[in-house]
Amino acid sequence: MDGLIDQARTQLWKVVNSFSQVTRDEQTPTIEVALYEYGNDTLSLTSGYVRQVSPLSTELDDLSEKLFALQTNGGTELCGTVIQKALDQLCWDDSPSTYKAIFIAGNESFRQGNVSADEQCKLASEHGVIVNTIHCGSERDGISGGWQAGALIAKGDFLTIDQDQAIAHIVAPQDKLIIELSTQLNSTYIPYGQVGKQKKENQAAQDNNAYRERSKGAAVGRAITKSSKVYNNASWDMLDFVEESPAGLAKLQKSDLPSELQELTLTEQKAYIEKKREERTELQNRINTLNKEREAYIVQQKKVQSSKPSTLDQAITKTIHRQVQQSGYSVQ
């Protein structure tokens, strides 16, 4: 499964960006993502060889960090167990209008183990959670292995991908400047609280992880994510925090503030934050403008491709856009 995890690492930002095009009542929805590792026999047998890597969270940099830390070892894929744990452990939104989905990928039989994958798919559907199955292999093997049946039960999509396919990234003239502007964006983040400094350092670390995969488009994809509303860091960044809670700044302890704000009056603090916000908005607008030019260039350069999605990001993005529209969202 090395190829699958590699695709997940390098295409994470493309998948996230598919949500940046989604709105409801002209508002971009909040996105929470969880991650489970399974099919690794070094994990505990009593856990069903399943480990929750990350709970549902808006902290996309943390998710990236954990993805890049994953190691594959191969092993038994107990799909029923991992779906069961996702349903039981995650804090799913109760609203029937919220898009809730599980994407599960593998290359073995979908129905292995003592926990019935079909029963868990049925239970997921009853709770308003769509299960999309992604078989890493041929469509025929995916059907015979139960992957298609599971998706049908949970009202999801059955998809097949080539986990070992090389990621094709068309280099555009705008890429270099987009990545440079993404780095400049980091200077507009003002950490606060006990974890602020660590989170900002992790932001730069995930930039570096993406940059190492630049030949696969990861750095550009991450830059585009950072210029969108889906990239929210209110838990540690002062600008996002104040935008969500305008009165929150006055309630913070002096020790929670970064050094450059500690000796300023509340009015001066607000002015400092507003200046940083203007800088961030300008950089984000420049990235978005360049990305529109980049997309137009790629359309012209792209060769005719198969209509079937063949890589993880293509499969997930296509499914997300179709399903969210069925849930009442709009896709730009």
DSSP states of 255-279 as a string? Answer: GGS-HHHHTS-HHHHHHHHHHHHHH
Confidence of residue 94 (pLDDT cuts 50, 70, 90): very high
The pLDDT score that the predictor gives to residue 318 is 83
Tell whether 152 and 231 lie within a shared domain. Answer: no
Q: Running DSSP on this structure, what letter comes out for residue 329?
A: -
The pLDDT score that the predictor gives to residue 163 is 66
Distance between CA atoms of 330 and 332, rounded to whole angstroms? Answer: 7
Cβ atoms of 34 and 56 closer than 8 Å: yes
Task: Report the share of the chain in percent with pLDDT over 70.
Answer: 90
Quick one: how far is CA 327 from the chain centroid?
Answer: 19
Tell whether 157 and 38 lie within a shared domain. Answer: yes
Mean residue pLDDT across the chain? 89
Residue 306 has pLDDT above 60, yes or no: no
The pLDDT score that the predictor gives to residue 331 is 87
The mean pLDDT of 90-108, rounded to a whole number, is 93
Residue 315 has pLDDT above 80, yes or no: no
Tell whether 43 and 104 lie within a shared domain. Answer: yes
Between 27-31, 313-317, 320-324, 328-332, the lowest mean confidence (pLDDT) is in 313-317
The pLDDT score that the predictor gives to residue 70 is 80
The pLDDT score that the predictor gives to residue 308 is 54
Structure token pair of residue 221:
């994809």
Tell whether 147 and 215 lie within a shared domain. Answer: no
Between 8-22, 71-85, 172-186, the lowest mean confidence (pLDDT) is in 8-22
For residue 32, give the CATH number of its domain. Answer: 3.40.50.410
DSSP states of 124-145 as a string? Answer: HHHTT-EEEEEEES-HHHHHHT
Task: Report the share of the chain in percent with pLDDT over 90.
Answer: 62
Q: Is the pTM of this model over 0.85?
A: no
Tell whether 18 and 145 lie within a shared domain. Answer: yes
Tell whether 285 and 313 lie within a shared domain. Answer: no
Residue 202's contacts (CB-CB under 8 Å, 6 or more residues apart) are 61, 62, 65
Cβ atoms of 188 and 279 closer than 8 Å: yes
Residue 68 has pLDDT above 90, yes or no: no
Residue 101: count other Cβ atoms within 10 Å of its Cβ.
19
Distance between CA atoms of 140 and 111, rounded to whole angstroms? Answer: 16
| 85: helix, strand or coil | helix
The mean pLDDT of 118-132, rounded to a whole number, is 97
Q: Which domain holds residue 31?
A: 2-166+305-331
Distance between CA atoms of 313 and 229, rounded to whole angstroms? Answer: 20
Which one, of 22, 118, 99, lies nearest residue 331 by Cα?
22
Half-sphere exposure of 42 (CA within 13 A, CB side): 6
Greater model confidence, 200 or 311: 200
Tell whether 186 and 215 lie within a shared domain. Answer: yes
User: Residues, the chain, total?
Assistant: 332
Which one, of 220, 261, 227, 225, lies nearest residue 242 by Cα?
261
The CA-atom distances, in angstroms, between 17 and each of 57, 260, 272, 332 are 16, 33, 30, 12
Q: What is the per-residue pLDDT across 204-222, written as a single tens digit (0 to 9) for each?
A: 999 999 988 665 688 999 9
Structure token pair of residue 299:
């359309």
* CA dihedral angle for residue 294, residue 295, residue 297, residue 303, rounded to 10 degrees: 140
Tell whether 79 and 22 lie within a shared domain. Answer: yes
Tell whether 65 and 131 lie within a shared domain. Answer: yes
Confidence of residue 266 (pLDDT cuts 50, 70, 90): very high
The pLDDT score that the predictor gives to residue 17 is 86
Residue 268 has pLDDT above 90, yes or no: yes
Residue 307 has pLDDT above 60, yes or no: no
The pLDDT score that the predictor gives to residue 143 is 95
Tell whether 228 and 313 lie within a shared domain. Answer: no
Distance between CA atoms of 85 and 47, rounded to whole angstroms? Answer: 9
Domain count, the chain: 2
Residue type at 189 in one-letter notation? Y
Tell whether 155 and 189 lie within a shared domain. Answer: no
Confidence of residue 67 (pLDDT cuts 50, 70, 90): confident
Tell whether 8 and 140 lie within a shared domain. Answer: yes
